[in-house]
Amino acid sequence: MVKGENGKPVESAAVVFHPIRDNKDEGGMELKTNEDGQAILDVIPIGDTLRLQVIKSGYQTFGNDYPIKADTKEIVIHLQSPSRQYSIYEKHNPAAQQGGPPQQPAAKPAPENNDSKSPDAKNQTSDRSKDQTGSQQDAQSSSGSQPSH
């Protein structure tokens, strides 16, 4: 039986049944739930494992494995509303997710540009230019070719 967060049956949810025998998927079958939130299947042998997946627009997809140990087994599934998708491109606060105190945002680094009035920034830029020029000259001399003038 498939129910929503409010406890009411979910009609027309896709229920995908995959019998698993000896860790091997024995094929699949998809049924839709009726108005009572039920999808009934009676061809899973006792001793097999049933891999069950429930899909319904507006809800999180559900999936789980169930060992079949008796002639009948009623499985009640409560579908949840979808949660926000996790993105690696967004900043996340691990302490807030674990219930800890929120952390202060990290200070932003100063922008790197050649117009910076800081003498250190100019020295770092000129040092990088020297390193790149030196690396190019090292690569040319190690390959045996001479730079053309």
DSSP label of 101: P
Residue 74 lies in a domain: yes
73, 75, 17: which is closest to 46 by C-alpha?
Answer: 73
Q: Do 12 and 63 sit in the same domain of this protein?
A: yes
What's the pLDDT tens digit per position in 109-146? 555 555 545 445 444 444 444 444 444 444 444 444 44
Q: Do 67 and 120 sit in the same domain of this protein?
A: no
Q: Do 70 and 119 sit in the same domain of this protein?
A: no
Domain end among 78, 101, 122: 78
- What is the bridge-based pairing of β-strands 77-78 and 2-3? parallel
Q: Do 62 and 119 sit in the same domain of this protein?
A: no
Domain range for residue 35? 2-78
Helix (H, G, I), strand (E, B) or coil at 138: helix
Cα(76)–Cα(33) distance, rounded to whole angstroms? Answer: 12
Residue 94 lies in a domain: no
Q: Do 17 and 64 sit in the same domain of this protein?
A: yes
Domain count, the chain: 2
Residue 57 lies in a domain: yes
Cα(50)–Cα(48) distance, rounded to whole angstroms? Answer: 6
Q: Check which CATH number belongs to the domain holding 12 and give it.
A: 2.60.40.1120
Confidence (pLDDT) at 42: 82
Residue 147 lies in a domain: no
Percent of the chain with pLDDT over 70: 62
Report the range out of 26-30, 87-91, 135-139 with the highest average pLDDT: 26-30
Confidence (pLDDT) at 130: 46
